[in-house]
Structure 1
Amino acid sequence: MPTTLNIQALAAWTLAALMVCGAGAPLTEAPSALPLGVEEMEHSDPTSSSPVWDSVIRAAKHHKETFEDEFPNKDWYPHVLENYRVPSLPTKCPNVNFSKEACLHRMAQGLSFYISLLKHVEKAYPSSVMLFEAKRNTGLILSFIRQKMKKPDQVTSLSSSEEETLLSMLRNDDTFHSKMTAHSILRELYIFLMDGKRALARKERRRGSAAINGGVSLLV
């Protein structure tokens, strides 16, 4: 059974490798086409107010309901899942000293890491609705974010060997442990997405205020 120390070391190493531009393989797991209507959005539309986020909110609520249905009469969500949290998960965009482009890059890079982690969820819950929703939403948001980036080619994914090493460290013969880790990954994925949405909204509000103030000064 892998130790927590080993998992922490491996997760830190793989995430560090993922965050270096040019490391690993170019990201190719995002779907080539988005659902009807999404690909028609104007590039200038505020990223944070896009309707693509609605499905993420619905899926996050559905995941919580699914967890509570599977483990009824136990006030476990989200407290118990903290004990199964994968160390060194992608960090969210900071509130200051970070451009919108840098935030988009961090989100895209982090989502490519979660794409690898979702393969553990697939082992624990194959063919489940919550897995389908997570994979669909991750690919959808990742493709959408890449469309908004100036340099999407700088986003990289784990190599097959790095991914296999990461997943091997998460494997556990205990079914309960494996399921809890899977639920923890899904919860952290949705937290990462919603934190990213809020960070983008703040940056876009500041950007809009700056544009309005600049316009006012020109009119004075």
Structure 2
Amino acid sequence: MSSEMFTHVLALGLLASLALRVAGAPLPEASAVLPGDTSGEVETDPSDLLTSSPVWDSILGAAKDHQKAFDEEFQNNVKYHLLDDYNLSQLPENCPSSNFSKESCLQRLAQGLTRYTSLLKYVEKVYPDSRNLSETKLYIRLLLRLIKQKMKKTDEVTSVSSSQEESLLGSIDNQDAFQRKMTAHSILRQLYIFLVDGKRALRRKDRQRGRAPEVHHPLQ
């Protein structure tokens, strides 16, 4: 069994053992997250596509549950959209949807997830008992492994050193308890956006490789 197939099987086993809601209620990607991604595709073996891995649904499901946890914590006294005011300059850049090679996109995703792994330590410090966070960290490790299996130059993905991580976490820390909570929630929200944009970009790349040039109709 190849290492890639092993990762897929491991992901499926974890889905069953953790009994995540994602398994019974898949994300509405076709209509809400990734509109139009399946139209006009040439038939391809889904098992060969990174975006077909169940790890994506698992990590997106765990990240998406974040808004529910946020609303429960603040009891609607703080609106979720206010997290836009707490976006951090230290967050990784998203994968562009155009003018970017698939290898470059995979590189940015892998490097970004490596950085988010460090940023999630700040979230864990603020919310040490979060079950949702534990699931997210687990699936990030699995997804990062899958991404590297698709890359040609995995050596270009650099890890965050202990000194860099200390500097990173120190730069976003705050003495005010409310500010710390909003920063932690902002990291989780931006992680979800990072993952959605990354999956969308990869699917677009797969479509471009697997079909004839797309014809745009005026009413589409």
TM-score where L is the length of structure 2: 0.74
2-structure distance, mates of 1:86, 1:120: 13
Structure 2 counterpart of 1:68: 71
Please list, as runs of the form range in 1=range in 2, the aligned pairs for 1:11-90 lying within 5 A after superposition.
34=7, 36-38=9-11, 45-74=48-77, 76-77=79-80, 79-90=81-92
CA deviation after TM superposition for structure 1 residue 36, in Å: 3.6
Q: 2:187 aligns with which of 185, 190, 193?
A: 185
Unpaired runs of 5+ residues, structure 2, are: 1-5, 13-44, 214-220
Query: Is 1:169 aligned to 2:171, yes or no?
Result: yes
Identity level (%): 56
Structure 2 counterpart of 1:12: none
Q: 1:123 to 1:88 in 2, by over 3 A?
A: closer
- Alpha-carbon displacement from aligned partner over 1:2-24 (angstroms, at most 9, x marks no partner): xxxxxxxxxxxxxxxxxxxxxxx
1-structure distance, mates of 2:146, 2:90: 25
1-structure distance, mates of 2:204, 2:140: 22
Please list, as runs of the form range in 1=range in 2, the aligned pairs for 1:127-166 lying within 5 A after superposition.
127-166=129-168
- Alpha-carbon displacement from aligned partner over 1:76-135 (angstroms, at most 9, x marks no partner): 11x211122111421122222211111101100111111111110011001311221221
2-structure distance, mates of 1:173, 1:60: 26
Unpaired runs of 5+ residues, structure 1, are: 1-32, 212-220
2-structure distance, mates of 1:88, 1:121: 14
- Greater relative CO, 1 or 2 (CA 8 Å, sep 6+): 1
Aligned partner of residue 51 in structure 2, secondary structure? helix
Structure 1 stretches (4+) deviating beyond 3 angstroms?
33-39
Q: 1:98 to 1:35 in 2, by over 3 A?
A: closer
Count of matched residue positions in the alignment of Structure 1 and Structure 2: 177
TM-score where L is the length of structure 1: 0.74
The one-letter code of the counterpart of 1:56 is I
- Alpha-carbon displacement from aligned partner over 1:132-159 (angstroms, at most 9, x marks no partner): 1221122121111111111212100221
State the Cα RMSD in Å.
2.3
